[in-house]
Structure 1
């Protein structure tokens, strides 16, 4: 029996009976009742307030706008996955362009220097958004590892408008996070930022200096 199993066994055999989940009141973290339009407006307001940029696109032509963003930002090396539909569509649209497509589905040890020194942007799908805080939530996979959104100077996130929910609680409940979560779940609110001992806020010190959200509409 492992140490973990022994600890759990002792907890189950407590002298004062088995452990039970306490009753909790969650009303304070849900029930906003916003319309889809209000939800979108709040999401954009809050993510823009921390230097995030939202670009409204249609699902039909989002890759055209992606190419425009890459050109406007001077991106020549873009890291992305392969299997996810977002990555597959981006690869097909950029295959004949001037941007070098860098495979992200590799062991980090095989391309650490390339990722940290040469890649200028990373594009990745977002599972959804939180209107209340202007946040994205991502579940990294081997195809789209977490470093794809944490290391390149520019993080380009692709988010479907209908995947934005009112609060984080609504996301957790609606997506049934209790039934299973990945090793890493990322909540992203704007580009990387930090404040030193003098409380001077700086962006891009420990991660992306820019966050661009391609917000796809039907």
Structure 2
């Protein structure tokens, strides 16, 4: 019997009965009670405080906003997926533009150098946002691999305004992570940043120097 099996056997055969999980009070990490406008305002304020840019647009007009962002930032090569509705819609809208669309559904070894040296930006969808921390959460797939949000100098993320939750706990609960926890979830709070021993922040050292969040609204766009 291995040491692990011996320890587990002792735990199962405790003289005072089996162990039970203690009662947990999660009130401290949930129950903020913010309404949709408060969630959006908090999200924008916090992600903006760490150099994230937020652009508001309608569901129907978000690709026009995307085109303006690409032009304003001088992005010539944009990496994006194919199958996700965000990627598919972007491809259709940018078909007649001068931006080169870079396919990401390739083995990383086949285009690793290209990805690190000549791609200007990566476009991704998001699963939602977190108001309390000003964070995005992404669930990468083979169609939208994690590297397109972590490697290019600019990351452009598309977020639906009504998918912003109060806290990370609310994301976990409402998306049933306990029943199907993502194996590769990403939490993104602004561009890449690091700090030295004096706690001086530097941006873009280990990833994107810029993060642009295009927030899509089903109704009226806030002023």
Cα offset for 1:8?
10
Measured after TM superposition, the shift of residue 10 of structure 1 is 4.3
Report the aligned-residue RMSD: 2.0
Pairwise CA distance, 1:94: 0.6
Secondary structure at the aligned position of 2:68 is classed as: helix
Query: Alpha-carbon deviation of 1:35?
Result: 1.0
The 3-state SS of whatever aligns with 2:178 is helix
Question: TM-score scaled to structure 1, two decimals?
Answer: 0.94
Gaps of 5+ in 2: 219-223
Residues 1:121 and 2:121 aligned together: yes
Q: CA 1:138–1:17 in structure 2 vs 1: closer, same or farther (change >3 Å)?
A: farther
8 Å Cα contact 1:140/1:182 also seen in 2? no
Distance 2:50 2:109 in 1: 32
- Give the superposition deviation at 1:14: 4.4
- Residue in structure 2 matched with residue 13 of structure 1 by the alignment: 12
- Counterpart Cα distance in 2 of 1:31 and 1:37: 16
Q: Report the TM-score, using the length of structure 2 for normalisation.
A: 0.91
SS in 1 for 2:137: strand
Gaps of 5+ in 1: none
Inter-partner Cα distance in structure 2 for 1:121 and 1:200: 26
Bigger radius of gyration, 1 or 2? Answer: 2
> Is contact 1:129-1:164 (8 Å) kept?
yes
Is residue 186 from structure 1 mapped to residue 186 from structure 2 by the alignment? yes
Aligned-pair distance for 1:93? Answer: 0.5
CA contact (8 A) 1:122 1:156 kept: yes
Which residue in 2 is equivalent to 1:204?
204
